[in-house]
Each structure stands twice: as C-alpha cells, then as structure tokens.
C-alpha cells in the first residue's frame, strides 16, 4: 500500500516537473538573466518531494535555461531578478517566500512561476494571486495538481467591469502563458497626482464636472487614456503643496502621494533626480528642457547716455583720436615761427583750435586761408566732419525717440553683481547649495498654482526690481506667449542652471511603467510632443520688441531732455569761465593760461 502511494506521488511529481520544464523552456530563456530558484516547504516530506521535482526540472532543462539556486541570503544583489521560480508545498510555504519579496531583490514586472506540490483549487489560487496583486506582480503562472494531472492558473487585474482585482484564468499548455496584460485597461479608473504649473499642466475646474487637465503634459495623458482605454481621477496635493521633498520617510507634496500609493502615478513637470528615483520609479523621460533664470530688463538709458548711442565705442575712439591728432599737429605748429604758421594756417588766423571745433560742429568760418595747402587741409577736414556729423544726426533722431535699455544680465556672475534675490520653488533650492553666497539670497515662491507664472507677471509690473525668477524655459516661453504682444515679454539669462529632464513618476512596485514607456516612446517618435509644446509657448527669445512704427513722430520735450540738460550745463560752464576771466586780471599765471587756451595774441588790452 505504501509503495503504491509512493509510486503515485512519484508519477505526479514527474508530470509536474515536465510541465514546469515546458513552461521554463518556452518563457524563461534569457541571454543575460538567469532564473532564480526558490524553495520553501512546511515539512520534511514536502521538502523532499519539492527537491525531487526540482531535480527532474534541472534534468529536463539540460542546460537550456541558466539557473541561480536560492541566493537570497547574500548581502549584495547585483540586479533584481526578472525570472523567478518558486517551489512550494502549500500556502504557508508561499507566505515565507512572499515575505522576502522586495523591489531591491526582485523586478515586480518580471516573470514568476509558482510550482505547488499539492492540489491547487480556486481558493488557494485566489489567495496566492491576491498577495501578489498587492505587490502588482501580474506576470505569474501557478502550476499545481488538478483532477486530471497538472493544472495551470493565472490572473488578469483588469477586465470589463472588474478593475484592480484578481480575475482568475485557467491556462492550457497551448496558451500564451505570459501575455501583455497592460495593453487594455477596459475603462478602469486610475488616480493621477498633479497640480497646475503652466504650460506643463493646466487645470480646468468646473462646479459640475470632475477636474480636467490640459497643457502639453495634459495632452500626453489624454493620448495615453485613449490608447490604453482608461479613465483618470486627478488628485492635487493637500494644503497647496506642489512637488514636495522626496525623503525615505515622511515625504511631502506629490512625492508623498506617489510614495504612499495614494495615486497610481504623478505627472506635472516632474524632473528626474537621484532623491526621487531612490523612493519612486521613474518612467521614460518624455521631455528635456533647461532650468533658466528670468531676468529684468536692463536699466533705461538716460537722456545724456542716448547722445552716445548713434556710434559704437570704436567709432567714438576713432573720432576722438582724429581730433586729438589734429590738436597735436596744431600744438606742434604753434611752436614754430610765424612764417610756418602762416604757411599752414594762412595769414591772420589766430584761433586754430577754435576753428577746429567750429568746423567739427558745422559752424561757418569768417576768415578763410589764402594758401592752397591750408585750403586743402580745410577741405579734407570739412569733408570728414560733414560725413561724421550727418551720420550722427540721422541716427540721433531715431535713438532719441526709442525707449532704450541696457542689455539684461547675461550670466549668473552679472546677476550676483546686482545683489538680486533668487525666487525659486522649494525643490529648486538644491541647485544653489554649492554656492553659499547665492543660497543666502534664495527665496521660496508661495505655495499656489502657477506660482512661477505669477511671479513673472509681477516682474513685468515692477521693472525696477533686480530680482530674478527660476523656472523651466517653457515657463518663460508660456508667459511670453500670453503677454508678449502686450509688451510683457521677459528676458532669459543665456547661462542656464541645469538640464531638466521631465518624466512620469510611479510607486516603486507599479506595473504601469513598461506599457506607458512604450506608448510614450511611440508618441515622441511621431513628433507629437514637439507639436504640443509649441502650442503653449513662444520660444523666440531673441525677438526685438519695438513700440515705434515706421512713420516718424514729432519730438517731445522728453525726447529733447538731453538738449535742455546740455544747455544748462554749458550755461553753467560759461559762468565759471566768466568768473575766471574776471579773476585773471589780478592773477598773472591764470591770465597766461587763458591766453594760451584762447589762442589770441591780443587778449590783453
């Protein structure tokens, strides 16, 4: 009798080993990933029987599948296991192995095969699959004894009208054991963590309808919903929190919602970072942008500074050099005798310096030189001054009417010179930790929707403030798209802070990542992401904003303010010179200096 029972058990273990080896040969071959073998039993007899089954499997595989035998006790695991085979003799034994499952040692999106040496009924299958679903392990096959030989079970978590639960499936040997169960979600709802930060996400609120989302990440979510057939319930962080801090425990904002499983995934300008990826699962990066600083426009030119705008600095230097050279020539000729001076200047020319200035400003000379050489020099000088003066006057009319400003800050070093404050979101403070001086000037933006866009609007209404705002390049482009035509464009510092890679974050054990990544990859390849992004922003940051039309305008007192200032300054200078001339009648050395400057030999009466 005992021998008969032993033969039956041996026969059953043999057929169970054949079924296990068949599944592994079909679905567990991988060129780089060995299959991890785990074994747990509640009795010595069960342990012996499982080892017999394992031995039969190894023999039948004949080296076709690389195996790794129970190395969970090792301290370091090089990479999580993606092929796992569990040998158990009942639910209690399964619980022992289940307790060792973790995202550090196992890839929950991998393939799992559970071999049970006892009879498997529907109740046991539901219990095992229910535990696995709590970890979102869905690619699993359970093999056990049935009424007529080995029986295989699996489950689908999503079916029409039955969402996020164990929907048992009986498998045949000819069936596909590990189909993609994430191709269709049958209209099941997912909870999505998000908040409004234009242009990434734009919330559409209604008293009668659930919260909806647009923006280019909202468009991405809509496309995923249509492709995979699911619905969403959008949840926002409590107390107006936004990104929040990613911590091993007690995270805040959206990081807490994803980490604790309150939402199935989060989408809202979520940049990839080491701290976030340590506690969450990052999806495929669907957009890469830059973190930049919006800087205020440069200081307006004063009326006096506008006088120098028609020419570049090198033109002014050349002009000054020519005048200085002419003055030097006159000074050297003044040291010669009267015949030399008459030859160069012409007779009765006693004020060569004044003549030089008169011609430069277009003032007529009352006494012309008589010699050809002197006249030739005069013609050359008149022509040079005429060209310079004509170009200057034609450009000056235009520059006097323009609202000119100095260029905005072009680097963070220039921003530091202005002692500006850096307004950033809380999670953006980490970019300044390496710069203590800048960190002292960091200020957090208020926890409110569109806080970056709101601060940019504040900058436009407070042009005298030197403070800057940190955000993605897309925040600045969206602001210019909204207000650029109304004179509200913001400038961006060419020196960007960092590259910012945007993704969707999931809980560590999420089974959504693989299918979402594939869909996003196809969307990116189609060019849809670039199309959506350009719908919400004006990325032409080099556009020159002009308020003046092509028609000339009448000059106002504001345009001519520099002339009034110059008249006042010259009038004051003339009073000073008049005072010096009065004093010079009593001070010999001062009178000689004034005579020298005037170039007149008959100054003293």
Q: Give pLDDT, residue 427.
A: 86
Q: What per-residue confidence (pLDDT) applies to 12?
A: 53
CB 140 within 8 A of CB 116: no
**Residues 241, 242, 246, 250, Cα dihedral to 10°:** 20
pLDDT of residue 310: 79
> What's the pLDDT at 367?
72
Residue 200: half-sphere exposure toward Cβ, Cα within 13 Å: 28
Burial class (CB in 10 A: 0-12, 13-18, 19+), 185: buried
pLDDT of 604: 36
Which residues of the chain are under the pLDDT cut of 50?
A: 1-11, 548-550, 554-555, 560, 600-605
* E-strand stretches of 393-535: 422-424, 442-444, 468-472, 491-492, 498-506
Q: Which residue has the tokens 């107006």?
A: 240
Q: What is the pLDDT of residue 1?
A: 41
pTM of the model as a whole = 0.77
**Domain ranges for the chain:** 2-171, 310-402, 556-605
- The predicted pLDDT at position 298 comes to 78
Give pLDDT, residue 301: 76
2-171 CATH choice from 2.40.50.100, 3.40.50.10300, 3.40.50.2060, 3.40.50.10950: 3.40.50.2060
Distances (CA, A) of 290 to 45, 84, 294, 383, 474: 63, 41, 12, 53, 8
Cis preceding-peptide flag for 137 (omega within 30 of 0): no
Contacts of 602 by beta carbon, 8 Å cutoff, 6+ apart: 350
Q: What pLDDT sits at residue 399?
A: 74
């Amino acid at each position: 009798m005992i021998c008969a029972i032993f033969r039956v058990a041996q026969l059953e273990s043999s057929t169970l080993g054949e079924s296990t080896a068949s599944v592994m040969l079909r679905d567990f071959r991988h060129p780089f990933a060995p299959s991890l073998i785990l074994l747990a039993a509640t009795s010595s007899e069960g342990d012996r029987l499982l080892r017999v089954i394992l031995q039969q499997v190894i023999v039948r595989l004949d080296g076709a599948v690389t195996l790794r035998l129970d190395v969970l006790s090792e301290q370091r695991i090089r990479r999580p296991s993606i092929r796992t085979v569990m040998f158990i003799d009942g639910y209690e034994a399964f619980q022992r192995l289940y307790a060792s499952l973790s995202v550090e040692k196992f890839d929950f999106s991998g393939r799992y095969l559970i071999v049970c040496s006892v009879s498997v009924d529907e109740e046991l299958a539901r219990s095992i699959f229910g535990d696995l679903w709590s970890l979102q392990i869905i690619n699993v096959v359970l093999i056990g004894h049935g009424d007529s030989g080995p029986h295989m079970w699996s489950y689908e978590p999503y079916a029409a009208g039955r969402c996020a639960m164990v929907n048992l499936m009986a498998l045949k040997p000819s069936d596909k054991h590990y189909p993609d169960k994430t191709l269709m979600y049958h209209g099941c709802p997912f909870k999505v963590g998000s908040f409004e930060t234009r242009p990434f996400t734009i919330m559409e609120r209604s008293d009668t309808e659930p919260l909806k989302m647009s923006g280019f990440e909202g468009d991405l979510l809509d496309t995923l919903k249509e492709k995979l057939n699911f619905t969403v319930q959008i949840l926002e962080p409590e107390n107006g929190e936004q990104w929040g801090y990613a911590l091993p425990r007690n995270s805040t904002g959206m990081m807490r919602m994803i980490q604790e499983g309150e939402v199935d995934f989060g989408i809202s300008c979520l940049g990839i970072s080491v701290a976030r990826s340590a506690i969450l699962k990052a999806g495929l990066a669907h957009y890469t942008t830059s973190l930049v600083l919006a800087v205020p426009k440069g200081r307006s030119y004063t009326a006096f500074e506008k006088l120098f705008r028609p020419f570049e600095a090198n033109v002014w230097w050349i002009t000054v050099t020519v005048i200085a050279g002419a003055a030097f020539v006159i000074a050297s000729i003044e040291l010669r005798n009267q015949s030399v001076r008459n030859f160069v200047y012409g007779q009765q020319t006693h004020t060569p310096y004044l003549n030089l200035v008169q011609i430069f400003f277009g003032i007529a000379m009352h006494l012309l030189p008589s010699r050809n050489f002197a006249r030739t020099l005069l013609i050359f000088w008149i022509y040079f001054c005429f060209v310079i003066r004509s170009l200057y006057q034609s450009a000056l009319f235009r520059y006097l009417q323009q609202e000119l400003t100095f260029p905005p800050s072009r680097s963070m070093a220039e921003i530091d010179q202005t002692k500006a404050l850096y307004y950033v979101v809380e999670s953006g403070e980490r970019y300044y930790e390496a710069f203590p001086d800048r960190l002292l000037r960091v200020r957090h933006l208020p926890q409110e929707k569109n806080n970056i866009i709101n601060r940019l609007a504040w900058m436009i209404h407070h042009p005298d403030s030197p403070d800057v705002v940190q955000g993605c390049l897309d925040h600045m482009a969206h602001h210019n798209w909204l207000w650029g035509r109304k004179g509200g464009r913001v400038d961006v510092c060419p020196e960007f802070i960092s590259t910012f890679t945007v993704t969707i974050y999931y809980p560590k054990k999420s089974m959504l990542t693989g299918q979402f990544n594939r869909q996003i990859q196809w969307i990116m390849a189609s060019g849809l992401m670039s199309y959506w992004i350009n719908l919400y922003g004006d990325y032409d940051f080099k556009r020159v904003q002009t308020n003046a039309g092509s028609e000339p305008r009448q000059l106002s007192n504001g345009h001519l303010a520099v002339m009034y200032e110059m008249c006042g300054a010259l009038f004051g200078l003339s009073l000073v010179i008049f005072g010096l001339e009065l004093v010079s009648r009593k001070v010999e050395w001062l009178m000689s200096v004034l005579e020298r400057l005037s170039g007149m030999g008959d100054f003293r009466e």
